[in-house]
Amino acid sequence: MIDFRTLNETIQEARRRLDAIGSIFDLARLKSELERLQRESESPDFWANPTEAQATMQHIARLRNKIEPIERLQKQAEELSEWLSLLQMEYDEATAAEVSAQIATLEREVAQLDMLTLLSGEYDSNNAILEINSGAGGTEACDWAAMLLRMYLRWAQRKGFRTEIVDESPGTVTGYSSVGVLIEGENAYGLLKSEHGVHRLVRISPFDANKRRHTSFVLVEVMPQVEQTEYQLKPEEVKIETFRAGGHGGQHVNKTESAIRATHIPTGITASCQNERSQHQNKEVALKVLAARVADYYRRQEEQKMRQLKGEVAPAEWGHQIRSYVLQPYTLVKDHRTDYETGNVQAVLDGEIDDFIEAYLRWNASQRSPVETKRE
């Protein structure tokens, strides 16, 4: 005999949580916006501007991805509640076992959906551009940059995300002085924004003949890839230059000046791409990265103004490590913002960083004021 009281309480808790999730996402507003965009997409001249039309279709898909799981689980909770009532009137062991299993699945899926409430920022659903820059530590830091690149690529692979190295500057001995990666997938930026900051490594250096302990620092920067409808570069403000590609690019590298460097003249911000096979493809990727960097620059300027108005001072990037990875004399990975830690360093370096990401998202949500949360 199943425990009707416990199962009913589980369903009621799931319903309450789904109502709260719907309120956080403002489900009524999302449905209204979806209906409006669907009407627009049915207009005869909708595809007159393919770029805007494609952006609208992507927005429609994102809205559906938020609305449909909530409505599906709400309907499932209602049906399971009805099944429990029927079982109390006429009990059947096989049906009871099936209903119990479905209630457990409901509880698990509601918990997973609850995580999405932490990804409600303006750009959280966007693709991410992740840049890794070696800092103090010379060869050690370049090797540390390569280790972090491997960690993020493995994490993205587990998520089913598409990755592309868009720019790289090899270290003189090993690893990378800097490397940029485009990571494409639902909520890629929202998840990876937790990684923005300085990452510190402590280990016995494999490059030191005396086997001394070394400390290395790498700066990871994470930006959302922006759509043209979100931020558009003005052609007259962009300078395009070509140069001969170099690095780990394969046989097609160094044959022609196919690499592209794009510069945003007003800010001096640059972006380059050398890993595609044609100059046109390199230019397209470089402009995407440049748009993301410029949009991120202006967004951070605005945030800095708000912090100054509030009397807050942002810490200097290189003086503020967010996470430490210690391999010797003990093994520990610790996030200094959330205090989340694990002794399984190898698993983390193999891409198992979801627990750190979730801890950051929950910590970040707790740091925001109600006004900021509502604005997002």
Of 51, 85, 116, the position where a domain reaches its end is: 116
Q: For residue 220, give the nearest of 340, 143, 318, 89 by alpha carbon.
A: 318
Based on the fold, state whether residues 85 and 182 are members of the same structural domain: no
- The DSSP bridge pattern shows strands 259-264 and 269-273 to be antiparallel
84, two tokens? 């429990």
Based on the fold, state whether residues 251 and 359 are members of the same structural domain: yes
- Amino acid 376: pLDDT: 41
Based on the fold, state whether residues 175 and 199 are members of the same structural domain: yes
Based on the fold, state whether residues 86 and 202 are members of the same structural domain: no
| Interatomic CA distance for residues 178 and 174, integer angstroms | 12
CATH value at residue 76: 1.20.58.410
CATH value at residue 181: 3.30.70.1660
Contacts 24+ apart (CB under 8 A), 245-248: 245/274, 245/275, 246/274, 247/168, 247/169, 247/170, 247/274, 248/168, 248/170
Of 101, 116, 131, the position where a domain reaches its end is: 116
- Amino acid 303: pLDDT: 75
| Interatomic CA distance for residues 325 and 335, integer angstroms | 9
Based on the fold, state whether residues 279 and 350 are members of the same structural domain: yes
- Amino acid 231: pLDDT: 73
Query: Using alpha carbons only, what angle is made at residue 50 by residues 291 and 27, rounded to the nearest 5 degrees?
Result: 80
| Interatomic CA distance for residues 352 and 350, integer angstroms | 6
- Amino acid 368: pLDDT: 63
Based on the fold, state whether residues 98 and 128 are members of the same structural domain: no
Based on the fold, state whether residues 129 and 112 are members of the same structural domain: no
What does residue 204 show for φ and ψ, rounded to 5 degrees? -75, 120
Based on the fold, state whether residues 11 and 155 are members of the same structural domain: no
Based on the fold, state whether residues 134 and 250 are members of the same structural domain: yes
Which parts of the chain register pLDDT below 50?
A: 249-254, 310, 312-317, 369-376
Based on the fold, state whether residues 82 and 160 are members of the same structural domain: no
Based on the fold, state whether residues 180 and 95 are members of the same structural domain: no
Query: Residue 197 in 3-state DSSP?
Result: strand
Of 71, 88, 116, the position where a domain reaches its end is: 116
- Amino acid 58: pLDDT: 86
Based on the fold, state whether residues 96 and 222 are members of the same structural domain: no
Q: Which residue has the tokens 């009621």?
A: 12
What does residue 111 show for φ and ψ, rounded to 5 degrees? -65, -40
Domain count, the chain: 2
**Burial grade of 364 (CB within 10 A; 0-12, 13-18, 19 or more):** middle
Q: Give the global pTM.
A: 0.71
- What are the beta bridge partners of residue 130? 181, 222
- Amino acid 260: pLDDT: 92
Print the domain residue range for 33: 4-116
